[in-house]
Amino acid sequence: MAADEGGHRSTAQQYPGSTEAMSPTPRDTMDGWRGSDLLAERRALITGGDSGIGRAVASLFAKEGADVAICYLSEMEDADAQRTCEVIRGAGRTAAAFRRDLADPGACRDVVAASVDALGGLDIVVNNIAYQNPVESLEELTDEQWRRTFAVNIDSYFHVTKAALPHLAEGSVILNTASINGLRGNKTLIDYAATKGAVLALTYSLAQTLRERGMGRRRHERARRATPLSVTPTSWRHYDDERRCGDGRTAGAADRDRVRAGGRGPAHRHRP
């Protein structure tokens, strides 16, 4: 455990990471949220739904009346997935969790089929799963990491969406998680930023091709949040440290303070 420039202590984990091992613990179960049945009887599949943004979305969906299936990568995340399912069931909804590596197209098709069986159908698809591993230079970025990042972050969105389409009726929704890095790039997340740019283009294209079917397509830009995906010291250190806020802090430091307080980032977009 190491301290950053603000004196806060943070944990570093190996991929894929665990919510329970994070300090401070993210506020990702949306405690205190009062639903109003906005998603009553809807059925949702959320990839990468065991923790972080995925868990928060799963929690909110359930509290708004939806049954939720989540997909996650490995047995290291079993505890996180179990906790997310507990939150869903605590809201009185059906929960299902599937351990799959969505870098494999067959696993993408399998998790859609399993979710349909578990929930009795599908109305909402949230493509949220992602992989990132910061590098110090382009030379450090291996061919294997490049392919892994694309297979998880963009290929899975294509395969999951395509497999889900036969189950989605008019009024169904497809949500894709993008990132500000897909718009402006990131010198230490070269492959990750490239995939998030691809997510933006894919979402715009899906919006055009699925319009006549009456389906909603949405892009969610991932603001800076504390998740097991982004708990490495390198991720924190290089994020926007060159930008300054009005109080003199770097934007990266301000974002870290904001996240620990349960807020949002990036700070340079939320200046006082």
Starting at the edge strand found earlier in the chain, the sheet holding 124-127 runs: 95-99, 67-72, 43-47, 124-127, 173-179, 216-222
Q: Count other Cβ atoms within 10 Å, centred on residue 27.
A: 15
Distance CA 200, CA 216 (A): 15
Residue 131 appears among annotated catalytic residues: no
Burial label for 219, CB within 10 Å (0-12, 13-18, 19+), is: middle
User: DSSP 3-state assignment of 216?
Assistant: strand
Contact predicate 77/68, CB 8 Å: no
Q: Which of 72, 131, 192, 239 is catalytic?
A: 192
- Which among 164, 144, 148 is positioned nearest to 217, based on CA atoms? 164
Both tokens of residue 46? 């959320």
Residues carrying an active site annotation = 192
